[in-house]
Amino acid sequence: MSETVIREVAKDVWIFSKPFSRFGVIPFGGRSTAIKLREGGVWVLASTPLETETKAKIDELGPVKYIVGPDISHHLYLGEFKKAYPDAKLIAVEEAIQKHQGEDIKFDGSWGKDAADTKYGFENDINWCFLKGFATKEVAFFHKDSKSLIEADLLFNMPPNEQYSKSQRVTFSVFTSRLLNPWSYAHKRLVWSGGSDKEAMRKDVKTVAEWDFKRIIPCHGDVIEKDGNKAWRELFKWYLD
């Protein structure tokens, strides 16, 4: 039986949450997100395997138009998604694209290489901000209609209860549960140390903070259903102060 939890968190916004352990030991959880766009296509942040149940739900939403890889790390399943949806535009950060050199995967856009004002086609529904000053080259996304921020390794919200809710595996560790949430000093220290270009980070963190989101959908940890903007500002307060 699949351990993936499929849930509509807001109208036309679906998440696919499943167990994932860093180094095979620390429970972090994994999550993909699919959004049905106003014009009928589907945008997918592809961070977990394209299992049968996952694909069935995505196909139910409509034709996949965009597949995005949000940072250096979340690229393992991009080829799998592109193979299943060959007509979709595949967009990722340049450092992730380089990891697929020599493979038969066509990328249609590159954060870090494309011009900063590039439009990929989904901007009527979803804003994006490329945080080039972060060590893992993160892209944050804002779905306007649902007021949801979707991101990968910028903000964690542990423990990953939903992602392990269909699993018998352990969900708790002191490291993740107590240290990796937006209100912890340790997480603030982590995102500060991860800022390789502090001035660029100040600018981009402020851009994201000015978006009117209430929900945060992280790749790792539970969804923050309310006061998401407050959580973002708390975590990145050292950049915003």
Q: For 146-172, what is each residue's pLDDT tens digit?
A: 999 999 999 999 989 999 999 876 655
Q: What one-letter code names the amino acid at 241?
A: D
Who's near 35: CB < 8 A, 6+ residues apart?
A: 12, 13, 14, 42, 43, 44, 125, 126, 143, 146
List alpha helices for the chain, DSSP H.
52-61, 78-84, 94-98, 174-179, 185-193, 198-209, 228-235, 237-240
Which of 42, 39, 50, 97 is CA-nearest to residue 69?
A: 97
Which pair of tokens denotes residue 189?
């220290």
Helix or strand or coil: residue 178? helix
CATH topology of domain 5-114+124-240: Metallo-beta-lactamase; Chain A (3.60.15)
pLDDT of res. 100 = 95
pLDDT of res. 26 = 76
Cα distance between residue 129 and residue 164, in whole Å: 30
pTM above 0.85, yes or no: yes
pLDDT of res. 25 = 64
Identify the segments of the chain with pLDDT beneath 70.
Answer: 23-25, 169-177
* Cβ–Cβ < 8 Å for 147, 224: no
pLDDT of res. 170 = 60
User: What are the domain boundaries of the chain?
Assistant: 5-114+124-240
pLDDT of res. 1 = 75
The residues facing 42 across adjacent strands are: 36, 64
pLDDT of res. 176 = 61
